[in-house]
A and B are shown apart, each in its own frame.
Chain A
Amino acid sequence: MIWNRRTVLSSLAGVGVGAGIQSARAQGAAPASVSPGNRGSSGVTTLNGATLPYTIKDGVKEFRLVAQEIEHEFAPGTRVKAWGYNGRTPGPTIEVVEGDRIRVLVTNQLKEHTTIHWHGIFLPNGMDGVGGLTQPHINPGETYVYEFTLRQSGTYMYHPHADEMVQMAMGMMGLFIIHPRDGARAVDRDFAFMLHNWAVHPGTYRPDPAVMTEFDLWTINSKVFPAIEPMVVRTGQRVRIRMANLSMHEHPMHIHGFRMRVTGTDGGPIQESAQWSEVTTLIPVGATRDVEFVADAPGDWAFHCHKSHHTMNAMGHDVPNTIGVNQSDLVPKIAGLLPGYMPMGEAGMAEHQMHAGHMEGPENTMPMMTGIGPFGPLEMGGMFTLIKVRDGIESYQDPGAYKHPSGTLAYRLGGDRRVVTSAPMSPGMKMDHH
């Protein structure tokens, strides 16, 4: 309720929040630096991403965003001409502290106009970035200045509000994270990512913005498994995962091995008594969720969208079902007409990952399922990554495959119960971080 919010804001201002900001500005004092979301580290870890640097001018944190066409790789094998900010999609994460006054200079290097809307953030109406409604469009070559003071904390977003359907489908989006002023709610590891969907049809090199439901790629920070960075955590650390969704679908994000407390939405932090636990958190469209858990169990834990088609890479959704179709005796006939034809899918589709390795697919297209783990193919793609929890690690570099303690691994009945320790990962499992 907007009236409520205004009422609250004005009452807050009345008790000095607004006044405090005013005074800080008047005194020219530097606003508090980014409060460490990661205890002892520099803040939020944007998977496969970066935090936008700033300069301070007259006590104002000044950021620069350049909207532009970029070359983007979802994973080795699929590259596109996307649109983003400062050379990437999502654009760099803006990370600030409640109470900061910020100025964002937005330069448009696209061939059409744009704007930036600061999604979920309290600001003067004229800073809201809705092209045509609250501001003129930023034409190609122009730079617009947004300036406002942050009066809240939490996980928010930025995205265009001009030709929005196209520009978001092309990859224009970014995270806007406001840490609490007082360093409250700090965690050891603070991860952030945006969920998105892309229509990159097989054999094409540019997202198709006209698609409404049948997307090809489901991404975490515009990457697909196995190119999504794992979240590396030391056993016992408190972990936050901030998830934001600007795609056309909602995503039930599922954690293995832990339960997540939902500690925040795009309405801000949820007070402790109102938080709840679950293993699958639905991230609605146009919304953000913060979840937290203590990583008290070492291992390689899967973390993924639970819509199983969202953990696939591009595939057809209108193909005849091959399960249970025995065509072995027809193969010679068909192969005579189509050299190289291989019947697939009689037993299921798992064999696709094996075949994809030695069969040619469409250009610029990854196999629909991929990734090789220590025990075999993962048969995953899209919105799938890992939380790698390890005892006593000092570095957050990918520690490799988890070594299972004796007696903690499922075994084949009648088979050898010796522990199978991590076989070397094949290149398919290697993370390619950009």
Chain B
Amino acid sequence: MAALRTSVGARAGGDLVARPATSERAAAKRETDILLAQELSLDASLKLALLNAPRYQTLYAQLGIAAAEQASSTALTNPVLSAMVRPTSNPAALANLEFGILTSLVDLLKRPARGRAARGVFEAERLSVAADVVAMALTVRTAYVDLVAATNIRDVQKELERAAAASAALAERFHAAGNIPMVRLREEQAAAADAALSLADAEMEAIEARERFALAVGIDASLPWRVPAALPAAPKVPTPAVAGGIEQRLDVQASRAAASAAIGDLKLHSDWRLWREVGLDVSGERDGDGQWAIGPKLELALPLFNQGRPDVARAAAAAVRADHQRASVEQAAAADLRLAQARLGQAERRFVRYRDEIVPLHTEIVDLKLQEYNYMFVGVFEVLTARRAAAASEVGYIGALRDFWKARLGLDAALGGGTALALVNEDIAQ
């Protein structure tokens, strides 16, 4: 179990510990409170999730069930003790006693093979649970990225709204002075009302993102925990190379394990096809004269009518199906990986264009417009319009940055969620 814990925990990027006991719950609560007191990093979010999210606990329990099943599947069938007393009518004679210990020889002989098969099944389950944990870690991380971005966008929308409101307030002054017509004033006011609405939308989106994140992590959204104002601007490490490809993916490994387990099962069935029931018996008998006769007894089911063919056929079909499933999973995984890479590439180009071109350009445009305003080439409204466009470009930038991080997390997940995630952790934690 320790190995299992390490494997899943490492892939998910945290320490997967079930804390069913009351004392451990209290410890978890303490740890949670400490984490919530600070600005939440991506790492801390994951720790919180492992401590608090009921779904993690569910998955963990599932692993426990799988382990128990493995243990029971390799246990031998209990030997059968038979005893018989045949009283005699002869008073001088002792009652006739007979006993026997019957154990399934097949069971005994098949044990190593059955153990292998069971381990295969367990391995498949283990990998599948690990994949679920990684997927859930991705959910938490994605929710984190969404939350930080939504909060940031809300803040920028606030600026946008302020610019529009200032513009409308100025327009009122210009109109009151008799310098602009009603239609210009109304245009400014309409723009300000639109901006206020956009801010309200952004505020709602931030609230929803907070709830989604809190739910994924298993904490209360109404508690005063907080996240950073902005996502980190640039990755410190290059995008992980996709050298291992799908080999590291848990779903691929799980499907392969399932396929090899099915083959093991088939082998078991076909090897023991004819020897379905072999009994080894040690029996003793006491005659009336008190003499004991003890001797072995072999019971063998003659494969005259049932030669085990249906079982073998079923196992063979299952093996074929498992292999097809493996191939299908590998194909889907390869496609998923390619797509994740393409998404990351595109998201990165988009983000870089925003960072290196669009946002700086708009910032410069505002400066240049202000210069034009200073020399009376344009009015203040035009400068404020440029300022709004700059804020809008910032919203675009934050969205692109969010999508970049999500694509990055997506690629990590597509790769199996292991080492790449650790790198991302470092980036985001900085």
- What is the interface of chain A, defined by CB distance below 8 A to chain B? 202-203, 314-316, 319-327, 330, 333-334, 336-338, 340-345, 349, 352, 355-356, 359-362, 365, 367-368
CB atoms of A322 and B166 under 8 A apart: no
Contact with A along B173-187 (1 / 0, CB 8 A): 110011110001000
> Which residue in A321, A334, A344, A352 is a CB contact (below 8 Å) of B179?
A321
In the bound complex, do residue B177 and residue A323 qualify as a contact, i.e. CB atoms below 8 Å apart?
A: yes
Cβ–Cβ contact A316 & B179, under 8 A: no
B15 is an interface residue with CB less than 8 A from chain A: no
Which B residues lie within 8 Å of A321 (CB)? 174, 179-180
Chain A residues, Cβ within 8 Å of B336 = none
Q: Considering only CB atoms, which chain B residue lies closest to A336 in the complex?
A: B162
Mind listing 7 A-B residue pairs with CB under 8 Å? A314-B375, A319-B378, A322-B179, A325-B179, A330-B169, A338-B387, A361-B371
Residue B98 interfacial (CB < 8 Å): no
B159 located at the interface, meaning its Cβ lies under 8 Å from any Cβ of chain A in the complex: yes
Are the CB atoms of B374 and A320 closer together than 8 Å? no
Residues of B close to A315: CB separation below 8 A: 375-377
Give Cα distance in the complex from A323 to B383, angstroms: 18
A-B contact count (CB 8 A): 103
For the complex, is B129 an interface residue (Cβ under 8 Å from A)? no
The interface residues of chain A lying within 8 Å CB-to-CB of B387 are 337-338
B290 at the interface (CB under 8 A from A): no
Instruction: Give the shortest distance, in Å, between A75 (CB) and chain B (any CB).
Output: 14
Q: Is the beta-carbon distance between B376 and A359 smaller than 8 angstroms?
A: no
Question: Which residues of B line the A interface, CB within 8 A?
Answer: 159, 162-163, 165-166, 169-170, 173-174, 177-180, 184, 366, 368, 370-381, 383-384, 387
Residues of A within 8 A of B162 (CB): 333, 336-337
Neighbouring B residues of A324 by C-beta, 8 Å: 177-179
CA distance A315 to B159 in the complex (A): 30
A330 to B165, CA, bound (A): 10
Chain B: interface secondary structure? helix
Q: Is the interface of A mostly helix, strand, loop or mixed?
A: loop
Q: Are B169 and A361 in contact (CB under 8 A)?
A: no
A326 to B179, CA, bound (A): 12
Residue of A320, A337, A341, A344 near B381 (CB, 8 A) is A320
Which chain A residues lie closer than 8 Å to B179 at the CB level? 320-325
**Assembly CA distance A362 to B366 (angstroms):** 12
Residues of A within 8 A of B368 (CB): 203, 362
Q: In the bound complex, do residue A327 and residue B377 qualify as a contact, i.e. CB atoms below 8 Å apart? A: no
User: Which of B179, B184, B380, B381 has its CB near the most chain A CB atoms (within 10 A)?
Assistant: B380
- Ranked nearest first, the 3 interchain pairs of A and B with the lowest CB-CB distance are A361-B375, A320-B379, A324-B177
Query: Are A368 and B173 in contact, with the CB atoms below 8 A?
Result: no
The answer to whether B370 and A338 touch across the interface, beta carbons within 8 angstroms, is yes
User: In the bound complex, how far is the Cα of B384 from the Cα of A343, in angstroms?
Assistant: 13
Chain B residue contacts of A325, Cβ below 8 A: 170, 173-174, 177, 179
Residue of B nearest to A330 (CB): B169
State whether B384 touches A360 (Cβ < 8 A). no
Bound-state Cα–Cα, A360 to B366, Å: 13
List 8 other contacts, CB 8 Å, given A327-B170, A338-B384, A367-B375: A202-B372, A321-B174, A322-B179, A323-B177, A324-B177, A341-B373, A341-B383, A352-B375
CB neighbours (8 Å) of A326 from chain B are 173, 177
| Contact yes or no, A341 B370, CB < 8 A | yes
Interface centre among B162, B177, B374, B376 (most CB of A within 10 A): B376
**CB neighbours of B173 from chain A (8 A):** 325-327, 330
Is the CB–CB distance between B174 and A362 below 8 Å? no
List the A side residues contacting B366 at CB < 8 Å: 338
Nearest CB of chain B from residue A166's CB, rounded to whole Å = 24
Residues on the A chain within 8 Å of B165, using CB: 333
In the bound assembly, the distance between CA atoms of A320 and B380 in angstroms comes to 8
Contact B374 A361 (CB under 8 A): yes
Give every chain B residue within 8 A of A367 (Cβ-Cβ): 375
| A102 CB → nearest B CB, Å | 45
